[in-house]
Amino acid sequence: MREAVERALEKVRPMLQADGGDVELVEVTQDGVVKVRLQGACGCCPMSVMTLKMGIERFIKREVPEVTEVVAV
């Protein structure tokens, strides 16, 4: 599942980088929780929770249905 999540993040990454941010995959747990670290402008942006849940999580769940949640660490 980790490889599928990595591929999904590669598709999301250009949108984040266009605004000066990025995302790093930290861990994918056995129960489908994806742990990521927001970097650059995304790390300190007040809208980062919205970006994480409505953008990154929504896209990853669509690409990898086994994912149950995406959380920032």
Residue extents of the structural domains in the chain: 2-72
Give pLDDT, residue 44: 85
Give pLDDT, residue 42: 86
Burial class (CB in 10 A: 0-12, 13-18, 19+), 41: middle
* pLDDT tens per residue, range 37-70: 999 998 888 889 999 999 999 999 999 999 999 9
Total-model pTM:
0.92
Q: What totals of helices (H) and strands (E) does the chain contain, helices first?
A: 4, 3
Q: Which CATH architecture has domain 2-72?
A: 2-Layer Sandwich (3.30)
**C-alpha–C-alpha distance, residues 1 and 46, integer Å:** 30
